[in-house]
Structure 1
Amino acid sequence: MDLFEQVEWANWKNLKDPEKEGLLQQLLMYFVPPTVEINTIQLVNFELYGIKCRTFELEFDGELFVFIPGNSEAILGWDLGAEGLRSHELLGFDVEDLEKNTFKTTLTNEEISPVSEWLEEEPQYDLTSLEGISDYINEYTTNLRKVAIPAMFVQKYALPAGTEFLGIFDTVTGSFEGEVEQFFPYEEIICAQLFPKLSAEESFTWSFPKSLLVKNECYLEFLPESDYYFVYSHNDFTHEELKLAVKRQGFDLLSQNQWEFAVGGGTRRLFRWGNELLIQDNESGRQIKSKMDGANMFGLVIDTEQKHFELTDDLAKSKLINQLVEKETIIEKMLPLSTYFHPRHMISADQKLSPKEYLYRKVIKIES
């Protein structure tokens, strides 16, 4: 087998650790630009919903990446509607009520024509019936298809658009930990925003902002239930400008196909963590939430707050969602977290990408 065949998922999972380590050294030599600093490398195990992957987690330029094996015949997309989901969760029924409700559907795996890339008037769906819910799911997920996915080094955490991570700012001590030299030019403006001079009356109502953006300077995001901000440098980029900036660093953005494989592993489930939709405040609900928020089967962490779109290399094909309006039904609330969800969202060529609304994830692709 040549190098590309060995890093196929079907072959990679059968390799012993020394063989994987030898392959990794070749990949780093041939595919990672010499300008990229390679730091910590470790073999780690990831698992989600019974899918296990022993792979590498490593640092490129101080940022965490994971190695994801390729799949030359990955099945992506969805045409199965509500199949596999729990009907009583979808319809809000008690389990005892299920005997009174029946549903039969004819669902196929046949490929259908590509979705048009222009905006259309949003159709209405009967989200009180399983048939209507199935139609809604099929409409808002990508087409069933078989594609070739290369092996990839993929950034573990997505970053706000136009930013690079610098470090962490402690609001209690006013101290910063991270890239001190890069943070220093922004320190005065950050402190002025976070520690304003307030009157006694104003101090009772003032609170730290959830985020702070100084365009082409810096961007800060507050970590919930903490005293810390993540601090980033910021450039006010369009989609194309961001792609070029990432390319200059030796990376790319994921395509829609690559994003879906990296997030869902090519499994035939609507959600990477399983079929649960209803997240209750109990031990079972906390376990589901832990799977949703934790690393997936390849070690990636995916945003679940529904406050951001995640960019791909195509400005017409964003993933996830910035949910501005609270939705009523559970499928409307949860479907944006599906691996195959595609929002009706367009980015214009001249649009500057707000870090409050968009995320991006860097990748190095193992391609000939």
Structure 2
Amino acid sequence: MEALNRDAWVGLSAQQKEELLRGMVIHFPAGMQYKGLETFERFGQRMETGVFSYEEQRFVFVPGDWVTLGWDRWQDGMDKETSADLLETVSEYGVEDVDSFLSSQMSPVREVYIAPMLVECTNRSLGWIEVTEAEAIAQENAYFAEELEKFKLSDLNQYELHQEFRLVRQGEAVQIFWFNEDLTLEYLIEKEIEAGFGLLTENEWEYLYGGGCRTLFPWGDSFDYTMKLKHFGSLKGVEGIVDVEAVPDLSLFEEDGRPYDLELPNFFGVQFAGDPYNYELTLDVSGNMMPKGGDGGAMICGGTGPLVGFLPATAVYYRDGNAGELDWEDMIDYMNYRRVIRLNDLEV
């Protein structure tokens, strides 16, 4: 067990890691395959770890650790640009104490042990299931066939009938997604347990996103204005602080073909949605839903600009204080989740 904790893990040779990782496979669901070692490096953290494959989905081994999570004060403090941007934005809403405002948006500081685990690299939609055209027609929806034909003849890239079906153009093909209106959290948990998986806890999610960092963002206390962000594009070349009241003018941004920065694999090899309109499902200590990584777009829709608008997707310890007021049926429309296998019972 000790060898699977971060301090011990980083001290192992590549051969020792390979032996441990290959030996884990027998404890995983049938069909899980070990693919080899890969090294991931980002935000000043680096990890050589094992990559696995299961039903065409990538998983990575993440070592365990004792870490401090939550946020209530700065480690290094903001730079002048971030500080001025943040103060200008929140003062429009009557906020005078920036530090108190930020602290109220974050999870509390606590010391926790995160068990070693195998984690799905990307998350998946909770409320939407991809189906074939034949499966969709079998649903006998009154609008589907007609809307599908209209979509095929149109120039649209995406069309959605709220909480019924979604059409996405992929070259010459059309992906069809059906809303999973009958899904419950209890059923999801039960289904994944039967398959040999669990769902992330809030503590695990914060560890995966920040690696135990004590800064506001995974990369530090200041915002990175060189990023390319969904809904804004690339911020490169924009002079000064973004006008927090303006709707983003994409003509001002250089669309350079880069991927969105927040979607890139981090130091554990884990990828996140990087979109404040989305949530990722995690569970609190009582097993209740605790959405992370977004706020349903509440702040960005208010014209707050990239810093505050993306705070739910960039601040490691952000909690959406309004999530408890939303119904499950509303949440799963823009909720994602990923599977995990905890390895705290393995003897190595």
| TM-score between both structures, scaled by the size of structure 2 | 0.74
Note the alpha carbon deviations across 1:20-77, whole angstroms, 9 max, x for none.
Answer: 11111232223x13xx312351211100122110111211232111110110x21111
CA distance in 2, matches of 1:92, 1:278: 11
1:356 positional shift = 3.2
Task: Report the equivalent of 1:142.
Answer: 107
Is 1:84 aligned to residue 77 of structure 2? yes
What SS does the aligned partner of 2:59 have? strand
Q: 1:282 aligns with which of 217, 227, 236?
A: 236
Q: Is 1:222 paired with 2:168?
A: yes
- Residues 94-132 of structure 1 deviation map (CA, whole Å, 9 limit, x = unaligned): xxxxxxx9xxxxxxxxxxxxxxxxxxxxxxx64799972
Pick closer, same or farther for the CA change 1:289–1:343 going to 2, 3 Å.
farther
- Note if contact 1:222-1:229 (Cα within 8 Å) is conserved in structure 2: yes
Paired letter, 2:6: W
Partner residue, 1:74: 67
Amino acid at match of 2:145: A
Secondary structure at the aligned position of 2:340 is classed as strand
Matched residue SS, 1:320? coil
Instruction: Tell me which of 17, 26, 41 is aligned to 2:35.
Output: 41
Deviation at 1:347, TM superposition (A): 5.0
* Residues 251-330 of structure 1 mapped to structure 2, 5 A cutoff: 251-274=197-220, 275-279=222-226, 281-282=235-236, 291-314=261-284, 315-321=288-294, 322-324=296-298, 325-328=301-304
Tell which structure's C-alpha radius of gyration is larger. 1
CA positional deviation for 1:9: 0.5
The answer on 1:26 being equivalent to 2:23 is: yes
Residue equivalent to 1:62: 56
Q: Contact 1:69 / 1:151 at 8 angstroms: preserved in 2? A: yes
Code of the residue aligned with 1:66 in structure 2: it is: V
**1:334 and 2:328 equivalent?**
no
- Paired with 1:152 and 1:221, the residues of 2 have a C-alpha distance of 35
| CA distances 1:209-262 after superposition (whole Å, capped 9, x unpaired) | 3456876xxx65737x96666666764312222212221221111111011001
Distance 1:52 1:82, change over 3 A: closer
Q: In the aligned structure 1, how far is the partner of 2:7 from the partner of 2:191? A: 34
- State the Cα distance separating 1:278 from its structure 2 match: 2.8
- TM-score calculated relative to the size of structure 1: 0.71
The 3 A distance-change label for structure 1 pair 353 and 24 is farther
**CA–CA distance in structure 1, aligned partners of residues 160 and 38 of structure 2:** 33
Which amino acid in the other structure matches residue 150 of structure 1? A
Q: In 1, distance between residues paired with 2:279 and 2:62?
A: 22
Amino acid of the structure 1 residue aligned with 2:121? K
Structure 1 residue matching 2:97: 3-state secondary structure: helix
Alignment CA distance shift 1:234-1:329 (3 Å): closer
The two structures, once aligned, show a CA RMSD in angstroms of 3.8
Q: 2:210 and 2:302 mapped to 1: Cα distance?
A: 26
Q: What 5-or-longer segments of structure 2 have no aligned partner?
A: 227-233, 239-253
Partner of 1:176: none
Matches within 5 A, 1:343-362: 343-347=320-324, 351-352=328-329, 355-362=332-339
Aligned mates of 2:259, 2:150 — CA distance in 1: 40
Residue 196 of structure 1 pairs with residue 166 of structure 2? no
3-state SS of the aligned residue for 2:321?
A: coil
CA distance 1:40–1:256, change in 2 (3 Å):
same
**Structure 1 stretches of 5 or more lacking a match?**
94-100, 102-124, 167-181
Aligned residues: 308
What is the DSSP-based 3-state SS (H/G/I as helix, E as strand, rest coil) of the residue aligned with 1:55? strand
CA shift, 1:267, in A, is 1.6
d(CA) in 1 for partners of 2:95, 2:6: 35
- SS of residue matched to 1:282: coil
Q: Structure 1 residue 246 and structure 2 residue 192: aligned?
A: yes
